[in-house]
Amino acid sequence: MQGNHACALGAVAAGCRFYAGYPITPSSEVAERMSLELPKVGGTFIQMEDEIASMGAVLGASMGGVKALTATSGPGFSLKQENLGYASMTEIPCVIVNVMRGGPSTGMPTRASQADVMQARWGSHGDHPVIVLTPASVDEIFTETVRAFNLSELLRVPVVLLYDEIIGHLVETIELRKPADLALFERKWTKVAPDEYLPFAATDNGVPEMARPGDGYRTHTTGLTHGENGFPTQNPAEVDRVMRRLLGKLDRNRSLIESYEALACDDADILIVAYGITSRAARRAVKLGREQGIKVGLFRPISLWPFPQLPLVEIADSATKILVPEMNAGQLCLEIERLCSPASRVSRMNRIDGEAITPAEILARVKTLEPNR
């Protein structure tokens, strides 16, 4: 199965029943498959007039109580940012797929890139919470799509599923799980009396309960800074309290979000940090390097934001050098340099021509970093 089709089937298995989007290479297969699958389960598929409207429709559907999805690529992801920030501020669960292609602007629609890493975290203005997951195989696209919906519903936060064009168009054998075999989570609907309900109240886990439409609750939803009652406020104490809860709920729930893979890291002198298709090349480079007696390992973040920083720091502590290969001009390496001081330990390896970094190229660079050289 192709990666983009696995994304659609994962969404339906997770309980997604609404899709709004606009065709854009290289993500269009997600929409095409959703248009076929959603009618089978009583869901709704809408092709909107553009990416801005698509994101707005997704937020409206989610506020109506339905799990909702949209998929896009670079230029469309840029257009979604204002509504993505609105979703963060108003805590509307939703999942956004970004199949990365070369940029900026129209860029290279049919070529791969990993240059939306920082945009996925900081694309919308202001401090805002967002979760970003980055699968590296077709099977993982399926499972991480399911997890994206689970995290979105549990934490009332937009979740971005971020993978490159090669992973999206890769064809691999996968195991399709039935919904009955998956651990699925739903958002928590309030049972508080309507006259006592606060739509943005502080809770033990930092996630306020939602009011189910039609149950008689009156709520006010605005992108303005608001109090626990949902109404706009610029009272410093109230704004500070609500914003710190909003921004802190991901940190308080890191154990639910963070995921990573560590390969041959126990005695690694050289640690590779890679994601997406580049991690596939790095995995092969590690295998070849180990066969040649080079102590090299791989740390692969699956949750990109929040980044699994404590596991990385612990694993990287004993490494002499760290290599960060990316299909961009240097983005995640900034985070690695910040975490793994001194930054001089970190070496960049960047490719921005639309082609993937090969195992041979990574291994050749690893050899230049060996401690005895």
CATH 3.30.465.10 fits 260-368, yes or no: no
Amino acid 341: pLDDT? 86
Distance CA 341, CA 362 (A): 22
Mean pLDDT of 262-276: 97
Higher pLDDT, residue 177 or 83? 83
Residue 155 has pLDDT above 90, yes or no: yes
Q: Which two tokens stand for residue 307?
A: 């980044």
In the structure, what pLDDT confidence band is assigned to residue 372 with cuts at 50, 70 and 90? low
Q: Please give the backbone phi and psi of residue 69, each rounded to the nearest 5 degrees, phi first.
A: -135, 150
Do residues 284 and 292 make contact, with C-beta atoms less than 8 angstroms apart? no
- The architecture in CATH of the region 3-181 reads 3-Layer(aba) Sandwich (3.40)
Amino acid 60: pLDDT? 97
Domain ranges of the chain: 3-181, 194-255, 260-368
Q: Which helix (H) or strand (E) holds 296?
A: strand 296-301
The residue behind tokens 């995290």 is 151
Mean pLDDT of 11-21: 98
Half-sphere exposure of 26 (CA within 13 A, CB side): 25
The residue behind tokens 């490719």 is 351
- Residue 110 makes CB contacts below 8 A (sequence gap 6+) with 25, 26, 101, 165
Tell which residue, 250, 9, 28, 258, has the closest CA to residue 145: 9
Amino acid 284: pLDDT? 98
Q: Which amino acid is at 232?
A: P
Percentage of the chain with pLDDT > 70?
Answer: 99
For 202-261, how does the pLDDT look when each residue is reduced to its tens digit (9 = 90+)?
998 999 999 999 999 989 999 999 999 999 999 999 999 999 999 999 999 999 999 999
Mean pLDDT of 25-52: 98
Q: Which amino acid is at 354?
A: G
pTM of the model: 0.97
Average pLDDT of every residue of the chain: 96
The residue behind tokens 């490494």 is 319
Amino acid 343: pLDDT? 86
In the structure, what pLDDT confidence band is assigned to residue 371 with cuts at 50, 70 and 90? confident
